[in-house]
Amino acid sequence: MSRFSELKHAASGKRRLKDLLLQSDNRFCADCGAPDPKWASANIGVFICLKCCGVHRSLGTHISKVLSVTLDEWSADEIDAMTEVGGNSSANAIYEAFFPEGVSKPGPDSSYEERMRYIRSKYELQEFLKPSLRITSWKTSSSSLKSSFSTKLFDSFRIPSVSKNMEGMVEFIGLVKVKVKKGINLAIRDMMSSDPYVVLTLGKQTVQTTVVKSNLNPVWNEELMLSVPQDFGPIKLCF
């Protein structure tokens, strides 16, 4: 590709990014609603404000790769990823699909700590995904440990040194998304029919589709997601 072609391609990419930013839902920060965001998480696909940008950077680039819309150079793949997601509304439809009781989004004037708690819950812990996308089983010693996991993780991020709360925790390096579409002529497992569902496991994680009652040709069209632990090795899909 000639230098002229490279410049032309880069200019085209910038226009695509600018056009995406001008969409109504992208004129406000995806996390706090502040107007006129000038930053973006290229791998998540959201536009964010300067204050939320600082929290995103603290997550690490393996979770959120932050770029300036106007100052940084974007690769073609990064721009393609942003446009494929479609912007804040599309991303939030996934990451904010299910709010637990008592949880609310931070506002433009919220403190850094409020933003940190919310953004980590949203993207790192993925606590607001719809239930079918969540990790549903972890090997823990008690139910109380499981219910307090998020709080302990947040506390550990507030101090610069590594605390005992972090010991034994698993670091994740990526996500596996599997689209479960349908089943055809499934075997009868009950008296006259079956109540089929699909279960995926990865390490100690398990996710499951909804149960379709009395149907040997179920249709799900659900997306299941699992986190990939560091040093897990090759992933095999078995039926």
Give 167-196 pLDDT, tens digit per residue.
344 455 666 778 889 999 988 887 778 888
Report the number of distinct structural domains present in the chain.
Answer: 2
Between 3-21 and 76-85, two packed helices, what is the crossing angle to 10 degrees? 30
Tokens of 55: 């929290």
**Judgement on whether residues 9 and 42 belong to the same structural domain of the protein:** yes
Give the number of other CB atoms < 10 A from CB of residue 3. Answer: 7
Q: What is the pLDDT of residue 157?
A: 29
CATH number, residue 197: 2.60.40.150
Query: Collapsing DSSP states into helix, strand and coil, what is residue 126?
Result: coil
**Judgement on whether residues 8 and 102 belong to the same structural domain of the protein:** yes
Total-model pTM: 0.54
CB 108 within 8 Å of CB 32: yes
Q: State the amino acid at position 183 in one-letter form.
A: G
Task: Flag whether 149 is in a domain.
Answer: no
Q: What is the pLDDT of residue 123?
A: 92
List the beta bridge partners of residue 205: 202
